[in-house]
């Protein structure tokens, strides 16, 4: 792997340590095992060398929002790790966390290990077809729940979550993992994540295997962990502002 600027690497080491401490502290409050929370590094707009460095530092899960950027970065990161000094480091697991266009579904299904933003039946069908076309193992699916009713932010209304989950379970190419939610900007995240936890409980009653909750970002991960989040999606608290020059 090409050498990363020493200052940038040190910055990633510091921010990763601070972030893991935040997660551990939140787990103490929630009386949970820190290992029950998966950190997904949101690397949108950041270079592949940052992703590869995080993999070397032990971050095994990466989130991307756009197919065009993600599909190219998957290849580049794999090559960086393959040619790096420590070739024992495996490529990360890729999580697609942004709103997904139906026409991009088959591409995403060719490389992603999980999709966190499934909110309509059309995506279920297209992702399943993409898995078949790529000849891959089952794709993990999170049903995105709308916590504010704003269609621009994606998500299915809470009363339609189980029906959409039924459609996921009916496809052998897909594996239902649980729910995903984004706290509305104008709402106390604790209230939003409590609502999401209630939806998750109803889903587990119908599908006991769907025991995951994808919730919490840089500003509100503590509230999400207290309310049962198993996957936190963190960008700026780990990688910094997206307007920095990392070239």
Q: Is 136 domain-assigned?
A: yes
Q: Residue 174 maps to which CATH number?
A: 3.20.20.10
In a domain, 245, yes or no: no
Beta bridge partners of 118: 143
Q: What is the pLDDT of residue 57?
A: 95
CA 176/CA 169 separation, integer angstroms: 6
For residue 244, pLDDT over 60 is answered with no
Structural domain range at position 163: 6-238
User: How many domains does the chain divide into?
Assistant: 1
**Average pLDDT of the chain?**
94
Render pLDDT for 14-47 as a digit per residue (tens, 0 to 9). Answer: 999 999 999 999 999 999 999 999 999 999 999 9
Please report which confidence band the pLDDT of residue 246 belongs to, taking 50, 70 and 90 as the band edges.
very low
Q: How far is CA 42 from CA 29, 94, 101, 110, in A?
A: 25, 10, 19, 19
Helix (H/G/I), strand (E/B), else coil: 132: helix
**Domain presence at residue 244:** no
- CA 114 – CA 64 distance, rounded (Å): 11
DSSP at 186 = T
Sign of CA dihedral 223, 228, 230, 231: negative
pLDDT band, very low/low/confident/very high, at 152 (cuts 50, 70, 90): confident
Say if 33 falls within a structural domain. yes
pLDDT confidence band for 153 (50 / 70 / 90): confident
> Which residues, including other chains, have CB under 8 Å from residue 234's CB and lie 6 or more apart?
19, 39, 40, 41, 42, 216, 217, 218, 221
> Is residue 52 a part of any domain in this protein?
yes
- What does the pLDDT look like over 32-90, one tens digit per residue? 999 999 999 999 999 999 999 999 999 999 999 999 999 999 999 999 999 876 678 99
Say which residues have a Cβ less than 8 Å from residue 170's Cβ, sequence separation at least 6: none
187 domain-assigned: yes
**pTM given for the model:** 0.94
> 205: pLDDT confidence band, cut at 50, 70 and 90?
very high
Note whether residue 247 is domain-resident.
no
**What confidence score (pLDDT) does residue 104 get?**
97
The verdict on residue 1 lying in a domain is: no
């Amino acid at each position: 792997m090409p050498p990363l600027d020493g200052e940038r690497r040190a910055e990633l080491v510091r921010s990763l340590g601070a972030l893991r401490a935040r997660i551990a502290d939140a787990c103490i409050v929630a009386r949970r095992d820190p290992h029950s929370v998966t950190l997904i590094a949101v690397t949108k707009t950041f270079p592949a060398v940052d992703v590869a460095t995080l993999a070397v530092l032990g971050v095994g899960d990466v989130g991307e929002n756009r197919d065009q950027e993600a599909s190219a970065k998957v290849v580049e990161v794999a090559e960086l790790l393959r040619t790096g000094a420590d070739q024992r480091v495996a490529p990360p697991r890729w999580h697609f966390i942004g709103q997904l266009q139906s026409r991009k579904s088959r591409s995403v299904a060719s490389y992603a290990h999980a999709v966190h933003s499934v909110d309509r039946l059309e995506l279920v069908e297209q992702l399943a077809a993409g898995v078949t076309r790529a000849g891959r193992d089952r794709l993990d699916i999170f049903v995105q729940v709308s916590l504010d009713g704003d269609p621009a932010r994606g998500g299915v209304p809470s009363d339609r979550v189980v029906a959409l989950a039924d459609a996921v379970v009916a496809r052998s190419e897909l594996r239902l993992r649980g729910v995903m939610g984004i706290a509305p900007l104008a709402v106390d995240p604790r209230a939003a994540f409590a609502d999401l936890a209630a939806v998750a409980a109803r889903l587990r009653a119908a599908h006991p295997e769907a025991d995951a909750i994808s919730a919490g970002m840089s500003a509100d991960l503590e509230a999400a962990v207290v309310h049962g989040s198993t996957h936190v999606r963190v960008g700026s608290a780990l990688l910094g502002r997206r307007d920095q020059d990392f070239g």
